[in-house]
Amino acid sequence: MGMFGCRVFALWSVIAVSLFAAGPTRAADPAEVTVFAAASTTEALNDIGQMFAAQGKGRMVASYASSSVLARQIENGAPAQIFISADEQWADYLSERKLLVGRINLLGNMLALIAPADSKVQVDIAPGFPLANLLKDGRLAVGDPDHVPAGLYAKAALQALGVWPSVEDRLARGDSVRGSLAFVERGECPLGIVYTTDAKIDPKVRIVGVFPQDSHPPIVYPAGLVAGKETPAAQAFFDFLQSPAAKDVFRKYGFAVK
């Protein structure tokens, strides 16, 4: 595809489902817990789900996508029991509709400018930095700023740094942060903006720079139980997410733990 994928604004979906068995089949298996979580939590949450199952506590079923997509699915009756959002907006969206209870701030993150691993691009991210020139004839991979949290943070940062007008018509809009990561990983876009945790797990990209944390709203991952779905198993997994063992996993993948 080359640069063509960016020029036509291709959307790349990254909704994945992960199942974890709770060990050998028994007469009564531990209860299943359904988690809807921001795509950027995929690897960490997979590991935590495996730990939860290995301890005989239950079986996690996780669906990963953009927080906006998941929140709307929950609003429309999807069978989620726990929601982990990559920003406060979509947690607020469900809270305002009385669909999220027991809400906590679970994680934090940072925002990074990335390039393909073999790129020679270098730049200091500062007010007025020459982002448009670095793109040359390519596009900037971002989550769709109209609804994807990573894209909303990216737009805020670029506006604060005074470079948004130079690139706003040169975006490759992904429908999740992992879509943006894939555009850069495949070499379809010379640069992208993702969370630092996403950049660190992908050897096909490198971090060019990290955005100043005061250039965008704090990146907060709220989590809560879906109203009416607060089963003992869901509560047990929700509590496990806040355990020292789970926090160690989140730290391993680069998240700030609240």
For 193, the domain range is 4-10+109-215
Q: Is the same domain home to 98 and 67?
A: yes
Question: Going by C-beta distance under 8 Å and a sequence separation of 6 or more, which residues neighbour residue 212?
Answer: 125, 126, 157
Q: Is the same domain home to 85 and 165?
A: no
Contact 181, 205 (CB under 8 A): yes
pLDDT at 5: 44
pTM confidence score: 0.85
Q: Is the same domain home to 64 and 82?
A: yes
d(CA 47, CA 53) in angstroms, rounded, equals 10
pLDDT at 258: 84
Q: Is the same domain home to 100 and 20?
A: yes
Q: Is the same domain home to 54 and 122?
A: no
pLDDT at 105: 98
d(CA 231, CA 82) in angstroms, rounded, equals 10
Residue 37: which of 13, 12, 11, 17 has the closest Cα? Answer: 17
Burial class (CB within 10 angstroms; exposed 0-12, middle 13-18, buried 19+) of 172: buried
pLDDT at 31: 84
Count each helix (H run) and each strand (E run) in the chain, helices first.
11, 12
pLDDT (tens, 9 = 90+) of the chain, 258 residues, equals 444 344 333 333 333 333 333 333 333 345 899 999 999 999 999 999 999 999 998 999 999 999 999 999 999 999 999 999 999 999 999 999 999 999 999 999 999 999 999 999 999 999 999 999 999 999 999 999 999 999 999 999 999 999 999 999 999 999 999 999 999 999 999 999 999 999 999 999 999 999 999 999 999 999 999 999 999 999 999 999 999 999 999 999 999 998
d(CA 23, CA 58) in angstroms, rounded, equals 10
Give the total number of structural domains in the chain: 2
Q: Is the same domain home to 173 and 137?
A: yes
Q: Is the same domain home to 46 and 65?
A: yes
Q: Is the same domain home to 101 and 172?
A: no
Q: Is the same domain home to 208 and 116?
A: yes
Q: Is the same domain home to 115 and 193?
A: yes
Give me the CATH number covering residue 209.
3.40.190.10
Q: Is the same domain home to 169 and 205?
A: yes
Whose tokens are 């400018």? That residue is 113
pLDDT at 165: 98
Q: Is the same domain home to 132 and 203?
A: yes
